[in-house]
Amino acid sequence: MIHAGILAIDIGDATFGAPDFFFAIIAIVSVVAALKMVATNNVVHSALYLLVVLSAVAGLYIMLGAEFVAATQVLVYIGAIMVLLLFGVMLTRTRIGEETDLNHDQRWIGGLISTAMFAVMGYALWDQFGSEALPAERVIKPNRSPTQYSATTSCHSRPSRYSCWLP
């Protein structure tokens, strides 16, 4: 496991450690590849840019301590779904190479809507999870019984005037 101590750079009161460095690389790669995916004029290039995004997301899962999900991402998305999409490109006889007519004319409406969505989501996230830190150790709490996941157990700790969904 990578500890934040190595490669740590102090910027004011915030610490920019090695995990943040790797996260920055993954974030830049995935966002640039996603933007090129929705902007390129070549269908096969778009599929390959999607491949880059999916690989970067698999790296993100490893950073979050979810190695099994990362392995499944590589197997299912990169192994199966990409092949399926490239078969779709092939079977619909899409032109291999540059195309001029892949986007709608009213592209700016899509840009406006997605920018507004990002503004609203970004404000909500900043407002709600401003400086919540992830736990330093990626461990799963071991002492959880299955009943703690059910909807009924949390009801019993509430005052009785709140009704439970389940008896």
Q: Which residue ranges make up the site for another protein (CB under 8 A)?
A: 19-20, 23, 27, 30-31, 34-35, 37-38, 43, 46-47, 50, 53-54, 57, 60-61, 63-66, 68-69, 72-73, 76-77, 80-81, 84-85, 87-89, 91-94, 101-104, 107, 109-111, 113-115, 117-118, 121-122, 125-126, 129-135, 138-141, 144, 149
Is 86 or 155 the residue whose CB approaches another protein more closely?
Answer: 86
- 132 vs 70: CA distance, rounded Å: 24
- 47 vs 88: CA distance, rounded Å: 11
Exposure letters 16-30 (e unless 16+ CB within 10 A, then b): ebebbebeeebeeeb
Is 97 or 111 the residue whose CB approaches another protein more closely?
Answer: 111
- 7 vs 135: CA distance, rounded Å: 19
Residue that is written with structure tokens 């460095």 in the block: 21
Is 127 or 161 the residue whose CB approaches another protein more closely?
Answer: 127
Is 40 or 155 the residue whose CB approaches another protein more closely?
Answer: 40
